[in-house]
Amino acid sequence: MNASEPVPAWVACRRALCLTYPPGVYDTRRMTTLSLAIDGMSCNHCVVHVRKALEAVPGVAVSRVEIGSAEVAFDPVRTSPSQITAAVTDAGYPARPQGPTA
């Protein structure tokens, strides 16, 4: 990781990165995408809960949360698909990874 490299704007402006981490902490080239299938979500209240659970995981930048699914970018040095999945499950919404990063 080289903290002096500029962070691309599309990453720097993601809420999870802007509010939780100082700029330049990530090597954005190693950010990896994870898609989750999530059970038990039924309204926007659930969407907010799942988003907060994801944003609380160090190294995660939330890309998209909707009823039944979510997509995040994560730093594989800081966290893992199983940790991210567990964070959502622990928040009350059983989750499982989907796609090639599972």
Nearest approach in angstroms of CB 50 to Cu ion is: 9
44-55 vs 81-90: helix crossing angle, rounded to 10 = 140
46 makes contact with Cu ion (CB under 5 A): yes
Nearest approach in angstroms of CB 72 to Cu ion is: 20
Nearest approach in angstroms of CB 45 to Cu ion is: 4
Q: Using CB under 5 A, which of the segments 3-11, 17-25, 46-54, 80-88 binds Cu ion?
A: 46-54
Distances from the Cα of 84 to the Cα of 8, 15, 25, 88, angstroms: 24, 17, 19, 7
29 makes contact with Cu ion (CB under 5 A): no
45 makes contact with Cu ion (CB under 5 A): yes
